């Protein structure tokens, strides 16, 4: 899955004729249909996705090979991935979440704080979920230019200036 980027997820059936609910994680949400074929984690592929309508927080869609409500319901909470080479190149200060997961996080003095476990966006801005060194509980670090001034994908490192006491 390293050569693929998660671009959305399926939410089960919409109606009784095989349409699905689709949530897009793309900057242009409708562009998800342009990145076909899309793949599931278990390797199933969908050669075509046609957006048929818009819902709050997503779309309704027809997915290649899905024709019944039962088939659509079986896809509930299934993540969709696109080949990395089908994705657009990003500007220097933008990153795919998949590229950030697993990076080592250091403070500005070079002390290792932890590893990026996940990246979340709850609407108010991105958060890096950091697993601190030697701990089992994660810490949420705002992913802003002020707090995370450097992301170096080549060396797989992030330099952060976390708020006082966050990594106590």
What is the percent of the chain with per-residue pLDDT over 70, rounded to a whole number? 99
Evaluate the CA torsion angle 103, 107, 110, 114 in order and state its sign: negative
Predicted pLDDT at 123: 73
Residue keyed to tokens 């004729």? 17
pLDDT single digits (tens) 77-114: 999 999 988 888 888 888 888 889 999 999 999 999 99
How far from 76 is each of 13, 61, 65, CA to CA, in Å? 8, 13, 15
What CATH superfamily is the domain 97-160?
PRC-barrel domain (2.30.30.240)
Separation CA 59–CA 32 (nearest Å): 10
- The domain over range 4-86 is classified in CATH as 2.40.480.10: no
Would you place residue 2 in the very low, low, confident or very high pLDDT band (cuts 50, 70, 90)? low
> Could you state, in order of their start, the residue ranges of all structural domains in the chain?
4-86, 97-160
Of 136, 37, 137, 138, whose CA–CA distance to 128 is shortest?
138
SS3 2: coil
- Contact predicate 72/13, CB 8 Å: yes
Give the model's pLDDT for residue 110.
92
């Amino acid at each position: 899955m390293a050569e693929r980027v998660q671009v959305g997820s399926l939410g089960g059936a919409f109606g009784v004729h095989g349409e699905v609910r689709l949530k897009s994680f793309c900057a242009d949400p409708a562009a998800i249909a342009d990145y076909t074929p899309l793949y599931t984690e278990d390797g199933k592929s969908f050669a075509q996705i046609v957006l048929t309508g818009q819902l709050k927080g997503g779309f309704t869609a027809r997915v290649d090979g899905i024709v019944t409500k039962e088939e659509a319901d079986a896809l509930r909470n299934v993540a969709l991935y696109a080949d990395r080479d089908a994705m657009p190149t990003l500007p220097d200060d933008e990153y795919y979440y998949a590229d950030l997961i697993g990076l080592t996080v250091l403070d500005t003095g070079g002390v290792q704080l932890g590893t990026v476990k996940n990246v979340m966006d709850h609407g108010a801005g991105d958060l890096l979920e950091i697993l601190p060194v030697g701990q089992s509980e994660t810490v949420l670090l705002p992913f802003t230019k002020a707090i995370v001034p450097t992301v170096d994908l080549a060396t797989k490192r992030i330099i952060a200036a976390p708020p006082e006491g966050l990594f106590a």
